[in-house]
Structure formats: structure tokens, C-alpha cells
Amino acid sequence: MSVAARRKRKATEISELSEQAIACRETGHWWRRDRVEWLKKNPKGRNVAEERVLVCDRCGAERVQTFEISPILNRFVPISSPRVRYPEGYLLKGRRLSRAELMYYLYQQQQKSRQILRQVGRAA
């Protein structure tokens, strides 16, 4: 997908974010292992590097990380920083969203809801 096409998928305001994106931004992703792909083998034919893909059950984001077997430690060690591919409706166009800003937005929404409930209660 082209960069221009990916930019079109981004929200411009917090209110345009999906409910799943807001929930994951607020409390964190629900990661589960989706698949493991072996990337290379040593001369003896043994697997020595793998790519692990985790998927968030709530918003659908994918976290990809590459591991390699360390000959010294004899276990998998990360050889790259995790890369995350976010689904449509998760990112804001042109800026980052801090957790404090998100929490303030959620607080404002809660206050609006309470005000509406009070008004409905008075009308009844």
C-alpha cells in the first residue's frame, strides 16, 4: 500500500478514533501469538532465526519481532526492535496522541454523559 493511501486511513480528531483504538490506547493491547515464521537455517539445516507475529484481539494491530538463536546463550534473543502495524482508525493524522490527552478526552466525554443523564432525570 502506498504512503498516500495509508495517510488517508488516519483519523484527524480523537473523536474519529475507533472504540477499539481508544480502548487499546487507554489500557494496552491484548496480544496473542498469531504465527511464527522461520527466516533462515544454518548449514546443518537447523532453524536459527524466526519472526514472531503477535496480533491484538481487540484492535487488530500486529507486532512483529525478529529473534535469532544465540550460539553463546543457546536461546532466542531479539535482533530487531518490534515493529507495529496499526489498523485503520488507530492513528491520528499528523500528530502523536499522548495518554494524558486521551485520558482528558475520555474524562470530558464522561462529564458530557453525566450532564445528559441529569437533564433527562429532571425532565422525567
In a domain, 41, yes or no: yes
pLDDT, residue 42, reads 66
SS3 69: strand
Q: CA 30, CA 27: separation in Å to the nearest integer?
A: 9
Instruction: For residue 3, tell me if it sits in a domain.
Output: no
Could you tell me if residue 118 is inside a domain? no
Residue of 17, 30, 29, 31 lying closest to 101 (CA atoms):
17
- Output the nine-digit C-alpha cell for 102: 486521551
- Whether the per-residue pLDDT at 4 is higher than 60: the answer is no
In a domain, 114, yes or no: no
User: Does 97 reside within a domain?
Assistant: no
17 DSSP 8-state letter: S
Query: Which is higher by pLDDT, 3 or 52?
Result: 52
pTM of the model: 0.68
The pLDDT of residue 8 is 46
Residue 27 lies in a domain: yes
Side chain identity at 117, as an amino acid letter?
A: L
pLDDT digits (tens, 9 = 90+) for 62-83: 999 988 877 777 777 888 888 9
Does residue 7 lie in a domain region? no
pLDDT digits (tens, 9 = 90+) for 16-69: 888 888 889 888 999 999 988 877 776 666 677 888 899 999 999 999 998 887
Residues 96-101 have a mean pLDDT of 84
What residues make up the domain containing 27? 14-91
